[in-house]
């Protein structure tokens, strides 16, 4: 790269999603000049096509499901949702797909924003193709952080190019409910979007190729969500996949399933996982393969590239595809970059300031369905596969006084895994209305490695759902 017209910064961040913004926030706070490059909207997938719009669609649906069962409320809560009002609320929560607020924050933090498509150009260099066709060249004194996130992965289905399917982007930003919506994939996106659009009036068919929903979670999570989705009117099918799909001249979609059944829908949503946004970011110029995920060590450094200058943070490293976990990584990457810029050794011991240990031991996640699913740490299946001796302790949350106060028809279950040798919690799953807010207690128990003997002294208030902790301890003691 010729040296003229090169802008030099301490740190270059590619991608202004929640993760890139947080890396830049930490490096600026450490006194390092930082530029952030963004090709679409500052705020990333989370703000406009993922977390924010999906939760704005789901909150009215979940509140209505709870309220419908609480006596004495206005019968109006039983009425269908006001679709227009919900979608208008979703539009507001997605900032109407404008990023002025985010840009204002970036500027106020002292970070430079460069709009355009960023690409690595060898060691510590990045070129940016701006919207008006210019190329801006950047050089980093210390670090380049790739925070380009992920996109929806589509299956390799014949004719998919002409099918015009929905991905998570259309599913979170559509301006009216399709009459009939077929959803392929029963992971988190599939079940959340099934819950939202069924509540908004679509007739949803949810297709799982496994024998249940949410296949990577405790099996009872998928079972309870299936029950409620079916009660809400959704057609939930297991052990089935799509073998062919095409859009007809009238706009309808004709779908052939692996069991020979045919479906007709107005839209088909592929909620079939994620792929890294790394195919066109110059990975070849640093010896990596375009289109691959970018694995890192626990300090978020891409160790396949020598020199400790390249970092991958957030979805693109595939460690844990959640906004909160990517932001945690961003705080750690920022501290690592700052320490190395000062010439200091980094401390990557387990739970040390420069180690993203929680990615491996305690990733919390909430699925915002009816009922909610909140989990952190290991499932029983994962513990068994890892050869980790644990006691599996279950409790029906609906037996709690607090649960019945919350919603008289409460159905839910909790499971904790207790390490047999160390007597600490290593995994927890709660399924039931409102359990999302319980999750932090389990996350603290796991990351703090709190001995069960001490947990007895953490008294949950009566009558709350958090009394489930006490019941789980009693069940463990008496088993």
Ligand X SMILES: NC(=O)c1ccc[n+]([C@@H]2O[C@H](COP(=O)([O-])OP(=O)(O)OC[C@H]3O[C@@H](n4cnc5c(N)ncnc54)[C@H](O)[C@@H]3O)[C@@H](O)[C@H]2O)c1
Beta bridge partners of 269: 166, 183
Q: Nearest CA to 272 among 363, 360, 367, 157?
A: 157
CB of 166 or CB of 368, closer to ligand X: 368
CB of 280 to ligand X, least distance (A): 21
Out of 56, 93, 189, 281, point to the residue binding ligand X (CB under 6 A): 189
Q: Which of 100-108's residues contact partners 24+ apart within 8 Å by CB, and which partners?
A: 101/43, 102/16, 102/21, 102/41, 102/42, 102/43, 102/47, 103/42, 105/21, 106/16, 106/21, 106/24, 106/36, 106/42
Closer to ligand X by Cβ: residue 338 or 367: 367
Closest residue to ligand X using C-beta atoms: 187
Q: Is residue 271 a contact residue for ligand X (CB under 6 A)?
A: yes
Residue 375 CB partners (closer than 8 Å, separation 6+): 217, 218, 221, 364, 365, 427, 428, 429, 430, 439
H helix count then E strand count, the chain: 16, 21
From the list ligand FAD, ligand X, none, which binds 272 (C-beta under 5 to 8 Å, kind-based)?
A: ligand X
CB of 324 to ligand FAD, least distance (A): 5
Q: Is 7 helix (H, G, I), strand (E, B) or coil?
A: strand
Phi, psi for residue 276 in degrees, rounded to 5: -70, 145
Q: Per rule CB under 6 A, is residue 53 in the interface with ligand X?
A: no
Task: Give least dist CB 366 to ligand X, A.
Answer: 6
**Among ligand X, ligand FAD, none, what does residue 20 contact (CB within 5–8 Å per kind)?**
ligand FAD
Options 28-36, 185-193, 260-268, 389-397: segment touching ligand X (CB under 6 A): 185-193
Binding mask 205-234 for ligand X (x = CB under 6 A): ----xx----x-------------------
Nearer to ligand FAD, 324 or 388 (CB): 324
* Rounded alpha-carbon distances, angstroms, from residue 23 to 65, 334, 342, 361, 382: 38, 5, 17, 22, 31
Among ligand X, ligand FAD, none, partner that 263 touches (CB below 5 to 8 angstroms by kind): none
Q: Could you say which residues in the range 88-127 bind ligand X, by CB under 6 A?
A: none
Cis previous bond, 463, omega within 30:
yes
Beta strands, E only, 350-389: 365-367, 373-377
Residues 6+ apart with CB under 8 A from 478: none
Q: In the stretch 318-337, what mask flags binding to ligand FAD with x, by CB under 6 A?
A: ---xxxx-x-----------
What's the CA gap between 379 and 385, in Å, rounded? 10
| Nearer of residues 66 and 419 to ligand X, judged by Cβ | 66
Cα distance between residue 214 and residue 194, in whole Å: 12
Check binding of 359 to ligand X (CB under 6 A): no
Contacts of residue 9, defined as CB under 8 A and 6 or more positions apart, other chains included, come to 33, 34, 35, 112, 138, 139, 140, 141
- Cα 161 from chain centre: 27
Q: According to CB under 6 A, which one of 8, 33, 40, 68 is a site residue for ligand FAD?
A: 40
When asked if residue 366 is in the footprint of ligand X (CB under 6 A), the reply is yes
Q: Is 274 among the residues that bind ligand X (CB under 6 A)?
A: yes
DSSP string over 222-283:
HHHHHHHHHHTT-EEE-S--EEEEEE-TTS-EEEEETTS-EEEESEEEE---EEES-TTS-G
Radius of gyration of the CA atoms of the chain, in A: 24
Residues 42-61 contacting ligand FAD, CB under 6 A: 44-46, 50-51, 54-55
User: Least separation, in Å, of the C-beta of 209 and ligand X?
Assistant: 4
**469 interacts with, out of ligand FAD, ligand X, none, CB within 5 to 8 A per kind:** none
Instruction: Give min distance, CB of 215 to ligand X, in A.
Output: 5
Residue 72, preceding bond cis, omega within 30 degrees?
Answer: no
- Cα dihedral angle (43, 48, 52, 54), rounded to 10 degrees? -150
Q: Of 320 and 468, which CB lies nearer to ligand X in the complex structure?
A: 320
Per partner kind, with CB cut-offs from 5 to 8 A, the member of ligand X, ligand FAD, none near residue 209 is ligand X
CB of 336 to ligand X, least distance (A): 24
Q: Which of 39, 198, 369, 466 binds ligand FAD (CB under 6 A)?
A: 39
Interacting residues with ligand X between 304 and 343 (CB under 6 A):
321-322
Give the residue, chosen from 277, 340, 407, 415, that forms a contact with ligand FAD under the rule CB under 6 A. Answer: 277
Residues lying near ligand X in the complex (CB under 6 A) are found at 155, 184-190, 192, 209-210, 215, 241, 271-274, 321-322, 365-368
Q: Applying CB under 6 A, which residues contact ligand FAD? A: 14-20, 37-40, 44-46, 50-51, 54-55, 117-118, 147-150, 168, 172, 189, 277, 281, 314-315, 321-324, 326
């Amino acid at each position: 790269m010729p040296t003229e017209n090169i802008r030099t910064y301490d740190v270059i961040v590619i991608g202004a999603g929640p993760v890139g913004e947080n890396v830049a926030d930490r490096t600026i706070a450490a006194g390092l000049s930082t530029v952030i490059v963004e090709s679409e909207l500052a705020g990333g997938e989370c703000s406009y096509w993922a977390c924010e719009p999906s939760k704005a669609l789901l909150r009215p649906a979940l509140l209505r499901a709870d309220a419908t069962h609480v006596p004495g409320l206005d019968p109006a809560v039983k009425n269908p949702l006001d679709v227009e009002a919900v979608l208008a609320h979703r539009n507001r929560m997605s900032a109407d797909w404008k990023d002025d607020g985010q840009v204002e924050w970036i500027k106020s933090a002292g970070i430079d924003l460069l709009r355009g498509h960023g690409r690595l150009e060898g060691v510590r260099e990045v070129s940016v193709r701006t919207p008006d066709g210019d190329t801006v060249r950047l050089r980093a004194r210390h670090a380049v952080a790739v925070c380009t996130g992920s996109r929806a992965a589509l299956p390799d289905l014949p004719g998919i190019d002409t099918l015009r399917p929905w991905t998570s982007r259309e599913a979170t930003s559509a301006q009216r409910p399709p009459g009939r919506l077929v959803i392929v994939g029963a992971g988190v996106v599939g079940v959340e979007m099934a819950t939202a659009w069924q509540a908004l009036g679509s007739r949803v068919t949810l297709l799982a190729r496994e024998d249940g929903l949410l296949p990577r979670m405790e099996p009872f999570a998928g079972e309870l969500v299936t029950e409620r989705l079916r009660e809400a009117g959704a057609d939930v099918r297991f052990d089935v996949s799509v073998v062919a799909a095409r859009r007809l001249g009238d706009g309808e979609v004709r779908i052939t399933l692996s069991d020979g059944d045919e479906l007709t829908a107005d839209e088909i949503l592929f909620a079939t996982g994620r792929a890294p946004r790394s195919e066109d970011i110059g990975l070849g110029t640093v010896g990596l393969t375009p289109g691959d995920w970018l694995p890192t060590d626990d300090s978020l450094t891409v160790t396949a590239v020598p020199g400790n200058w390249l970092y991958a943070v957030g979805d693109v490293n595939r460690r844990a595809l959640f906004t909160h976990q990517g932001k945690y990584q961003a705080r750690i990457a920022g501290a690592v970059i700052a320490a190395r810029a000062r010439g200091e050794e980094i401390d990557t011991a387990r739970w040390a300031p420069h180690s993203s240990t929680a990615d491996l031991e305690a990733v919390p996640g909430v699925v915002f369905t009816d009922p909610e699913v909140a989990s952190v740490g290991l499932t029983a299946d994962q513990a068994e596969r890892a050869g980790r001796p644990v006691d599996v302790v279950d409790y029906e949350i609906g037996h709690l006084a607090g649960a019945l106060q919350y919603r008289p028809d409460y159905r839910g279950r909790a499971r904790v895994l207790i390490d047999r040798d160390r007597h600490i919690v290593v995994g927890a799953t709660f399924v039931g209305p409102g359990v999302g807010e319980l999750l932090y207690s389990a996350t603290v128990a796991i990351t703090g490695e709190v001995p069960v003997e001490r947990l007895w002294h953490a008294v949950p208030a009566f009558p709350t759902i958090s009394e489930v902790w006490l019941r789980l301890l009693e069940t463990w003691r008496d088993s």
